[in-house]
Structure 1
């Protein structure tokens, strides 16, 4: 998938000869790679938005991913954020280790399925 970004490419080529002169396709591909690297490096989260922002530009069909994975990642991310950003003293109810273990195991299983999907998908 080649992303077109006019601000970085100097405008869409209007003649065939401009493709060779500016290496339009190569520049477009490099711009896409650079943008994706920035997204991956800037990613600090585990919620749906964080996962999709890294994989959709590669061609991931998000509808093929188990919805439960996104639900669990959002739950995990919210719990993690509560502790990381507000502190343990701000949490009204203490985490239940048994419940967290179940959630973690479900996320690991879903991520294994996600990885298998990525390995067989045509991105």
Structure 2
């Protein structure tokens, strides 16, 4: 497991100790039901934030490594290939001239004649989307984060994607409606914790594939010629 995954696991454990009962009541009934439900609701929201941050940190690390490997060694990794292929940018053919006298085209001209400029822009666009535009861990969010880095999507089975979407929807329901209503209905702390344990177990597989991708994105120095 990566250090970042270990950090996530530790943080979930800390939130469990801070917000959930030390011992779960098998009946689901607690003396201070409102307090327990409020804390369980907080646990859900904060854990969602931790999982989302974990996913974002890992994909940003992989995309940055792929760019550095290209800049340093001109190494084209699986991630680099996917970054360009799924960038959403048009891959125009080369222009007819190396330089342009049209001042309106000068700013973007380099990207038309140098692959480095194209690739760096693809990575910059991707990282901006992850940092600024990603707002969740539902299936659509996962697709936008994982496919462009070359992640083997066979590692994301339907059960995992559905679990993440359901968790994301549950968090969204709490975040965008009155918490009082959810507290009155009651939130089972044991159920909330079980959901997180299931997600962490699935993320172990995702994390291993992330490690493989990170390693494959690293350029290795070639031995010096004799």
TM-score range, shorter chain: 0.7 to 0.9
Distance 2:208 2:160 in 1: 14
Greater C-alpha radius of gyration: 2
In structure 1, which of residues 85, 103, 107 is the aligned counterpart of residue 176 of structure 2?
Answer: 85
1:72-99 alpha-carbon deviations (Å, 9 max, x no partner):
1111111111110112234484322111
In structure 1, which of residues 90, 103, 110 is the aligned counterpart of residue 195 of structure 2?
Answer: 103
Is the contact between residue 137 and residue 164 of structure 2 (CA under 8 Å) also seen in structure 1? yes
Structure 2: gaps spanning 5 or more residues? 1-80, 99-108, 218-226
Is the contact between residue 56 and residue 62 of structure 1 (CA under 8 Å) also seen in structure 2? yes
Aligned residue for 1:86, secondary structure, equals: coil
Distance 1:66 1:109 in 2: 13
TM score, norm. by length of structure 2: 0.45
Structure 1: gaps spanning 5 or more residues? none
Q: Which has the higher contact order (CA 8 A, sep 6+)?
A: 2
TM score, norm. by length of structure 1: 0.78
Aligned pairs for 1:1-123 (under 5 A) are: 1=81, 2-3=84-85, 5-6=89-90, 11-14=92-95, 18=98, 22=110, 23-41=113-131, 42-91=133-182, 93-121=185-213
- Tell me what 2:35 maps to: none
Is the contact between residue 152 and residue 209 of structure 2 (CA under 8 Å) also seen in structure 1? no
Query: How well do the aligned residues superpose, as a CA RMSD in angstroms?
Result: 2.6
Structure 1 moving runs of 4+ over 4 Å: none
Is the contact between residue 66 and residue 110 of structure 1 (CA under 8 Å) also seen in structure 2? no
